[in-house]
Structure 1
Amino acid sequence: MHRVGGTQQTANLAPANASNVQTDKGFFGQLKVTVVKGVRNILSANYSSIPDNAKLASRNITVLASALHPLFNKRDNDGAKDSGQDFEQALKKASNNPKSMKLFSQINRELEKIQQLQEELSKLYSINDNILRIPGAVKGPRYTEVKAQITECQSVMDGAKQKGTLAQQKFNKTVGPQLKIDFDALQVPEEKRSPESAEDVAKYEKMKTNLLQR
């Protein structure tokens, strides 16, 4: 039979009958094709013009197993595995890394220092406000002393923040995404915390159990 694009030959299919079923199997690319019993009766009601000698057959097409399991790049597999680690697995891994534990301890020390300084500053500001209510007190030694203490606390706090931020940046490079720390969020006082910073603090408290070196 001649068709557009070249010469083709008609396929020889086994005739269907009621007594037995003849099948012809073969592989075409990645598809397994099976020729089974004729189904002429199913279509005869709608297609009355089908010739008597027409042979109809159904094809049971089964995809080979090799087509169902595409190959993945090994690097992609490793990346998916790393990103799929849960919090506990990442925490266990970090607890076996001395560098991660050392940096975490540094972060915790600076956070504790900042918290103490925040409390001290709150007291100093309160004292300063009371002094300002006294006429002429701004020229007295007590006012000068308190102002100097406030300035010193602020300076020490700035230094603690810089050290803590640097330790946090180094720490985040040694752990997975589940354990990364936001140092700024951890400094927020409890009464001023947003839901996001509160979540960061809760995660940090869990991490202290495994990573804090005393």
Structure 2
Amino acid sequence: MHGVGGTQQPANLATANDSNVQTDKGFFGQLKVTVVEGVRNILSANYSSIPDNAKLASRNIAVLASALQPLVNESDNAGAKDSSQDFEQALKKASNNPKSLKLFSQINQELEKIQQLQEELSELYSTNDRLLRIPGAVNGPRYTEVKAQITECQNGMAGAKQKGTRAQQKFNKMVDPQLKIDFDALQVPEEKRSPESAKDVAKYEKMKTDLLKRQEPVGLKRP
């Protein structure tokens, strides 16, 4: 055999020893190639058909994923358990701090005041709408009285929100991250709550159950 481009002898690259296997022989350039008939059939087959071994591999992957699933679930459960324990520990720590208890009590008082004023304001709005449908009522004393009550409720809500927000900011600085609360989210009416605000309210209710019962009644002092 000479160098590249030199004279080369025909070479038989594949030999079929099985008499049942059909082969094709052809010349490509100066190389004599033998192709097994079965290989040619595979290459010319429709690619939409999936070989059996590929299906088997898919089944094996599915089995492996399902086998790992319990491990993932166990990890998630462990994380949730740790989070719950951290919350309880933070709650216990806050319950032993008089300043935290006082601030939380103030937050709760302002929230209750806002809720009460929201209910009163809703009724006043309804009364105002009815008066607007009565000819000449806007010039009467009742309409003037309702407008003044609406303004009073709005101012009361603004003051309660300001006090509650200040107390919340101080409270969040004193407690662990698990107990931090969002004062604005707690004011959202139930029918308008997002999943996030509903979660904040649920956490707050849990904190109320534990922290408010530890708050000393007003006017009582420890001996």
TM-score (norm 1): 0.60
Matched, 1:162 2:162: yes
Alignment partners' CA distance in 1, 2:91 and 2:123: 38
Shift of 1:100: 0.4
Structure-to-structure mapping, 1:1-214, within 5 angstroms = 86-212=86-212, 213=215, 214=217
The runs of 5 or more residues in structure 2 that have no matched partner are 1-82, 218-223
- Cα distance per residue 1:139-162 (max 9 Å; x no partner): 000000000000000001100000
Shift of 1:209: 1.3
Q: Which residue of 2 aligns with 1:20?
A: none
Alignment partners' CA distance in 2, 1:203 and 1:140: 47
Shift of 1:126: 0.3
Alignment partners' CA distance in 2, 1:175 and 1:142: 49
Shift of 1:84: 10
TM-score (norm 2): 0.58
Aligned residues: 132
Shift of 1:85: 6.3
- Cα distance per residue 1:98-140 (max 9 Å; x no partner): 0000000000000000000000000000000000000110000
Identity fraction in percent: 87
Alignment partners' CA distance in 2, 1:147 and 1:209: 38
Moved segments of 4+, more than 2 Å:
none
CA pair 109-84 structure 1, distance change in 2 beyond 3 A: closer
Amino acid at match of 1:172: N
CA pair 92-137 structure 1, distance change in 2 beyond 3 A: same
Shift of 1:210: 1.4
Alignment partners' CA distance in 1, 2:85 and 2:97: 16
Alignment partners' CA distance in 2, 1:116 and 1:84: 32
The runs of 5 or more residues in structure 1 that have no matched partner are 1-82
**SS at the partner of 1:156?**
helix
Shift of 1:211: 1.1
**SS at the partner of 2:181?**
coil
CA pair 163-192 structure 1, distance change in 2 beyond 3 A: same
Q: Which residue of 2 aligns with 1:15?
A: none
CA pair 139-92 structure 1, distance change in 2 beyond 3 A: same
**SS at the partner of 1:86?**
helix
Superposed CA RMSD in Å reads 1.4
Q: Which has the higher helix share?
A: 2
**SS at the partner of 2:135?**
coil
CA pair 113-84 structure 1, distance change in 2 beyond 3 A: closer
